[in-house]
Amino acid sequence: MIIKILSTDDYTADDFERMSEQMSPARRIKAGRYVNSEAWKLCILADYCLKKAVEEYGKAPSGNAEIVYAPNGKPYIEGADFEINISHSGRFAAAAVSVFPVGIDIEDKRRVSLSSARKFATENELKYIGDSPERLLRIWTHKEAFLKCTGEGICNNLKDIEISPDGETLITEREGYYFSGEVSQDYVVTVCEKKI
């Protein structure tokens, strides 16, 4: 599996212009809808991040393979024998490439609000979270990565999926799903894979 994380802080305005020129027409239109320049940059960076992860993975289909999106929003590359997923938040974009179904979520630590926990966390998760913004982000990124991996998306009731602490590892009751992640000074990222 390849995981790539990039920050808008590391690129210039000229870099973003060059990256946008390399985007597919559909993605360029999507990026062009953002009136906020930071959102525009993040959309472009997410696309670039995914392309770099696929390049690093080294198994891209021949030709100029375009990233397309299923009706549920899950990205894929036609003809590829691997799975892809992207996420972005604040200043960060993240991408994952795997032979297994995969979901990834990244959250910028500057964008956390403990009051949001009641909207998506179960009672057991709320106990685990306590007053820790980092634990809240760990639960959220696990849930979102899991739902992106399954293709369900986050429109379902998030309280129907419980992420349970097992020591310092977080797990789900559904069989075959495995999590990995990183907590840095600036972000929390979680990857979920379904090992078939």
Q: How does pLDDT run across 5-22, given as a tens digit for each residue?
A: 999 999 999 999 999 998
| Three-class SS state of 101 | coil
**Biggest alpha carbon distance in the chain?**
50
Q: What is the DSSP letter of 113?
A: -
CATH of domain 2-99: 3.90.470.20
φ, ψ for residue 5 (rounded to 5)? -130, 125
pLDDT tens profile 132-152: 999 999 999 999 999 999 988
Cα(55)–Cα(184) distance, integer angstroms: 25
**pLDDT class of 26 with cuts at 50, 70, 90:** confident
Contacts of 46 (CB under 8 A, 6+ apart): 86, 87, 88, 93, 95
pLDDT at 61 over 70: no
Structure tokens at 80: 């590829």
Mean pLDDT of 42-69: 82
pLDDT at 62: 55
Average of per-residue pLDDT values in the chain: 88
CATH of domain 105-194: 3.90.470.20
pLDDT at 157 over 90: no
pLDDT at 63: 54
**pLDDT class of 28 with cuts at 50, 70, 90:** confident
Degrees to nearest 5, angle at CA 38 with 33 and 41: 70
Q: Do the domains spanning 2-99 and 105-194 agree at the CATH topology level?
A: yes
On whether the pTM is more than 0.85, the answer is: yes
Bigger pLDDT: 161 vs 94: 94
Q: In what order do the strands lie in the sheet with 177-183?
A: 102-108, 187-194, 177-183
Percent of the chain with pLDDT over 70: 94
pLDDT at 193 over 90: yes
pLDDT at 75 over 90: no
Cα(118)–Cα(114) distance, integer angstroms: 8
pLDDT at 161 over 90: no
Which region holds residue 23: left if phi is over 0, alpha if psi is between -120 and 50, else beta? beta
Cα(64)–Cα(91) distance, integer angstroms: 28
**pLDDT class of 79 with cuts at 50, 70, 90:** confident
Degrees to nearest 5, angle at CA 19 with 63 and 73: 70
Residue 106 near residue 87 (C-beta atoms within 8 A): yes
Domains in the chain: boundaries: 2-99, 105-194
pLDDT at 69 over 70: yes
pLDDT at 78: 84
pLDDT at 167 over 80: no
